[in-house]
Structure 1
């Protein structure tokens, strides 16, 4: 007897066991965005962003379901007209018979979750959450450690090798010779947890979307305190969360043997052009 076909609902059940919706932040929008839970699924595409490029890839691959980390409809909407960017994607997916499921901050807080995937990519042994969840033995971000200490400059290079390449790349703020062993990290926008990383007493903090002034003030504080606060490693939002795609795909493959699961390798980071050189002398910059 041939094995029973899996459905959108079957995939949803596996994902919600791995990434419980109750772990999502109150403002978040997770779950099935469009699609019929009773429809059969033979192929799934996992990605970070549900955008034109990944929807096109899903259709070209013959996928019946896109599993994305970022929500498509995060803010309240009053319609999904095809004359809007997001509405056009919804219409395109429905016409092509492609469902969309999003696991966002529930995947951030789950164990294992987004930050565990990043920690694995970096070769860290995870010790505990950076910000424990109030209602579960998990939380946001992770604190881990390297097998052996290494100079901060080498650690920044480690991060760059571990995540997909983007035009902005990976950058560090701190003394390149400083030994690093204990590390805090948060996949996605982790600036709001910078104080938690400081309180944890780690050697370095890895996250995305760090702004100029908070990073500058943090490093200035490091100088004033003799290097007592973590060095910073910044990378793009997309690159920091992409390792989760392989984690989610592995869970689906392990539970649903009838489903062919692909991870999108397309870079959907919005920054696609890099100009200039980092060593340029500000005195040489032409002024109007």
Structure 2
């Protein structure tokens, strides 16, 4: 039986949160170790601290899926007398691979910002700050009519043919395929050295660039021919828009004070910073994990009544009050929601892939650096 490697797991993960979604300059991907080794135990973590590494060692973890990059700036030296050096040393000594998914996981559909929006039960959510529109590619594949439906289903299940709220969209034309098998071939249909004519269908569908590898693999697995004939055409129209933050509607209008209590409960924080009129009526909510200082004006212009984010600066708060806007700052650490959210998402993908020997669970270490009195 073939063992599941880190590369197998990361391939599944990046079908959800590809590195191409990350903000330019963000350090995402492999941090320490190798993705080529077998993986049985995976742990999700918000930060990779020495306590988290010790937990991973005790839990015999093979791969840590972290949100915040361990190596955000280039290292000039690995000094094992420093905390970062010890983390790297321990990870390598115990064969623990560290992989970081930062802004790509923030931006991904179903990623950190969607997890935050879902925790608040926001409705009709949309992207707050678009960062990228995914390029589209047209896949054209020629399939014998007897197997056309199987191939059509396989590529649809792999993510091809998404147009708006519709999936498995495709178009077919019937025709005749011709070929002559060589002496080295092992044809599914036809005879070596003889011209063959087969009733085939030309199936056309749209694929996002990030899904091409998965869709092609599914197509080849379902296709009966030894050598499948297919084409890929880049398209000028853009696909789905991705970005940071989400904006949506509460089920009912409430005060900022009431929303603050809801936020504390949803994100499991004991306290938060409230900026602006606590009696302001709130219906439209913007939420953005991490440091959201740059997005206050974006939230105001998008029609939000409030922005929920972390690390608000003093002068950003002053400016918001002057503008009549309100903010809630429950801290950067609310991104810890990604630990269980990633576990739940990846468990489904791992099970579907048949990686029965792989276990994924969340770190129990609280890495919030702040204490409150």
TM category (shorter chain) comes to 0.7 to 0.9
**Which of 173, 197, 220 in structure 1 is aligned with 2:322?**
220
- The offset of 1:53, in angstroms, is 1.5
Whole-angstrom distance in 2 between the partners of 1:164 and 1:11: 29
TM-score between the two structures when normalised by the length of structure 1: 0.86
- The offset of 1:179, in angstroms, is 1.7
Whole-angstrom distance in 2 between the partners of 1:201 and 1:122: 18
Structure 1 segments of 4+ aligned residues over 6 angstroms from their partners: none
Could you say what the CA RMSD is over the residues aligned between the two structures, in angstroms? Answer: 1.5
Match of 2:237 in 1: none
Matches within 5 A, 1:1-288: 4-136=2-134, 137-165=241-269, 169-222=271-324, 229=325, 231-239=326-334, 241-257=335-351, 258=356, 259-272=358-371, 274-275=372-373
Cα pair 2:272 2:329 within 8 Å, conserved: yes
- The offset of 1:165, in angstroms, is 2.9
Whole-angstrom distance in 2 between the partners of 1:203 and 1:88: 45
Whole-angstrom distance in 2 between the partners of 1:37 and 1:107: 19
Whole-angstrom distance in 2 between the partners of 1:14 and 1:64: 16
Query: Which sections of structure 1, spanning at least 5 residues, go unmatched?
Result: 223-228, 276-288
Match of 2:195 in 1: none
Whole-angstrom distance in 2 between the partners of 1:119 and 1:171: 19
Whole-angstrom distance in 1 between the partners of 2:294 and 2:242: 18
- The offset of 1:189, in angstroms, is 0.5
TM-score between the two structures when normalised by the length of structure 2: 0.67
Q: How many residues in Structure 1 have an aligned counterpart in Structure 2?
A: 262
- Relative distance call for 1:60 and 1:186 in structure 2 (3 A) is same
Larger radius of gyration: 2
- Structure with the largest fraction of strand: 2
Cα displacement string for residues 67-113 of structure 1 (whole angstroms, at most 9, x for unaligned residues): 10000111111232322321211110111111101000111111122
Say which SS state the counterpart of residue 80 (structure 1) adopts: coil
Whole-angstrom distance in 2 between the partners of 1:263 and 1:175: 37
- The offset of 1:260, in angstroms, is 1.2
Whole-angstrom distance in 2 between the partners of 1:262 and 1:127: 28
Say which SS state the counterpart of residue 184 (structure 1) adopts: strand
- The offset of 1:150, in angstroms, is 1.3
